[in-house]
Structure 1
Amino acid sequence: MRAVTKHLDEKARSIFADLGYTVTDRGGEYLAERKWRAVHVTPAEEFDDTPDSGEYRCFVAWADDVPELEGRLEAADPDYEWAIIGVDDDGDYEVARRRHAV
């Protein structure tokens, strides 16, 4: 059984904090900032709509959900650089997919 949604939210926040980013809660997503880069971080346990803004965007999802999320993002073809971080049941994570804006 998976952890509750809040756990994925906390994991998304802690991943970027551990990487040295300053993380600000923006009501359902986070803004992670470090030096010149600002990344919009979206915990994507229940991913409904593709956000339409942000130069850099990272979606944090359960590892099992990464293929579906990737397909939805590729179909939407948003105009920003995005990445997906897959989190497993043990809380370990890896960057599962990246797309550079064209």
Structure 2
Amino acid sequence: MGTVSTQLDDEARSIFTRLGYTVSGDGAEFTAERDWKAVRVTTMPEPDDPPESGGLRCFVTRRSQANEVRRRLVRTDPDYDWAIISVANDDYEVVRAPPAAGASA
């Protein structure tokens, strides 16, 4: 499983670097910064319980796991803004958090 995780970590760093972020940190969790925002990025090769706190967070997972990661985030309703990047081959898709209750779309 280590190779899969390392590959996903590298893909996540590459995506954020291509988007113009400065990436710092090693392993399955790192920080991506651009302009005024710092995003805490967590790679999830397998769905896991999301962190309880944070500011801006992004979870990077394989496309086959993205729906389960999203379900866990929606169910736990964390007190931070989040997004998911689902990765498949050389392609990725961003899944955003649902709007907060009472927010207009």
| TM-score of the pair, normalised by structure 2 | 0.84
User: After superposition, where does 1:1-102 map in structure 2 within 5 Å?
Assistant: 4-25=4-25, 27-88=27-88, 90-95=89-94, 97-99=95-97, 102=100
> RMSD value over aligned CA atoms?
1.7
Tell me how far apart the structure 1 counterparts of residues 99 and 53 of structure 2 sit (CA, whole Å).
12
Percentage identity across paired residues of the two chains: 51
Over 3 Å off, 4+ runs:
none
| TM-score of the pair, normalised by structure 1 | 0.86
Structure number with greater Rg is 2
Q: Deviations over 1:28-70 (max 9, x none)?
A: 3010011100000010113423112221100000001111111
Unaligned runs of 5+ in 2: 101-105
Number of residue pairs matched by the alignment: 98
